[in-house]
Amino acid sequence: MNGLKYVRPGHGFVPNFPLYKKRDVNGEKEDEIYSFFKSRCPAPDRFIDDISNIRWSPVRNDDINWNFEKILIDHDGQPFARYTAPYEPNDMLEDIKTLILTCQGQRRRKYNL
């Protein structure tokens, strides 16, 4: 993705990991993975602030509201929590720790460790 090289913080950054194609996260052409995530994990904020910027249809109350909304996925691929755009990863630490401990506990039981 050439555009990444010129965006903040930029400085010629080129990712050394695979990038995925752009996907619709809301509306009629919503990608099925986002339909799955949203069906299992309610929206953190049940309203959209500025409807003048909506470019999709139909609009639903579980739609992803902004580019940087986050969805935390557990080790089994299940959505655990959704966070509004202003949340920083550090604000999610307790949920991340919970998921790590849950995963470790399941593995211990599975393998009798």
Q: How far apart are the first and last CA of the chain?
A: 44
Each residue's pLDDT, cut to its tens digit, for the chain (113 residues) gives 555 565 666 667 777 888 778 899 999 999 999 999 999 998 888 777 677 878 899 988 899 988 889 999 999 999 999 999 899 999 999 999 999 999 999 999 989 88
**Is 31 within 8 Å of 23 (Cβ atoms)?**
yes
Predicted structure pTM score: 0.77
pLDDT of res. 3 = 57
The two tokens of residue 40 are 């299992």
pLDDT of res. 10 = 62
The two tokens of residue 100 are 């790590």
Domains of the chain: 32-111 (3.40.30.10)
Q: How far is CA 99 from CA 12, 32, 89, 105, in A?
A: 35, 24, 14, 10
Phi (first) and psi of residue 43, to 5 degrees: -65, 140
